[in-house]
Amino acid sequence: MNQLEGLLENWRTERLPVTIANRTRRVYDLLARVYPISSYLFHARAHRLALELAAIENGEKVLEIATGSGEMFSRIAGGNAKGLNVGLDLSPSMAARTLGRLRQEHPEVNCTIEAADSRLMPFRDQSFDHVVCCYLLELLASNDIVRTLHEVQRVLKPDGKFTLIMIGQNHESFNQAYRIASKVVPAFLGQQMDRRGPEILEACGFEIEQTRTVTQTLYPSRIVVSRHS
Ligand SMILES: C[S@@+](CC[C@H](N)C(=O)[O-])C[C@H]1O[C@@H](n2cnc3c(N)ncnc32)[C@H](O)[C@@H]1O
């Protein structure tokens, strides 16, 4: 059994056993209009720091997976006016609304958003210098996390960078509250995975360069910047 198979085996009891992508898509479709509030309250600080650590150069080809309502995507596009900014989200409503938002906020910037699944991305191999992904892995079953990370490797150019944000697991009281809430709305919240995150990234072939944690409104986030190795 290789390292990745071993990790998946250990994980089986902890994580969502099967994909619930269809439910997740329906939930985020319904919430597309109000989701920006949650992103503003809990994610803005981590988005800002992740963008700083990512150090995207103006002119790069950048992909953001699971753009949601586009708060991070708008920051990326604003700093990459000479480059190409591509987003994708499983929820067609999120993707359409976010594309409309981006066209208004950055009419001069080359950007597009696809309604697509991170597990099978509609892009050629080695298309991007940088891939960004915030708060998605929590929503995926363990096999789907691995499929998504392999897709990230496939679409990244050699030596390309991957900037990931996960929900932090460094506050025990927050973890307990999250576990309870996620039993009620699993398709919206998924399951925390920060403790296993770096291990699984490395097993999927990423070299970790930086990791930081940040908290906003009691909600912890872990940022990991890694490179395609
Ligand atoms: C928790 S929200 C995060 C949104 C945004 N990245 C942020 O930082 O606020 C998760 C997003 O992932 C999307 N999503 C869930 N499963 C996905 C998948 N398999 N492929 C692409 N997007 C997915 C949902 O539609 C939702 O918009």
> In ligand 1, which atom is closest to the CA atom of 68?
27
Cβ–ligand 1 contact at 145 (below 6 Å): no
Probe ligand 1: pick from 31, 89, 194, max atoms within 8 Å of CB?
89
With 70 as the cut, is the pLDDT of residue 116 above it?
Answer: yes
Ligand 1 centroid distance, CA of 139 (Å)? 8
Share of the chain above pLDDT 70, in %: 95
With 80 as the cut, is the pLDDT of residue 18 above it?
Answer: no
What's the whole-number mean pLDDT along residues 124-145? 95
* pLDDT-based confidence at residue 75 (cuts at 50, 70, 90): very high
User: Which residue is closest in CA terms to ligand 1's atom 5?
Assistant: 68
With 70 as the cut, is the pLDDT of residue 17 above it?
Answer: no
Ligand 1 centroid distance, CA of 1 (Å)? 31
Exposed / middle / buried, residue 52 (Cβ in 10 Å: 0-12, 13-18, 19+): exposed
Cβ–ligand 1 contact at 138 (below 6 Å): no
**Residue 61 in 3-state DSSP?**
strand
pLDDT per residue as tens digits for the range 147-202: 999 999 999 999 999 999 999 998 899 999 999 999 888 888 888 888 889 999 99
Ligand 1 centroid distance, CA of 135 (Å)? 7
Q: Is the pTM of this model over 0.85?
A: yes
Q: Which domains does the chain have, with CATH numbers?
A: 3-228 (3.40.50.150)
- Of 62-71, 85-94, 111-120, 139-148, the poorest mean pLDDT is in 139-148
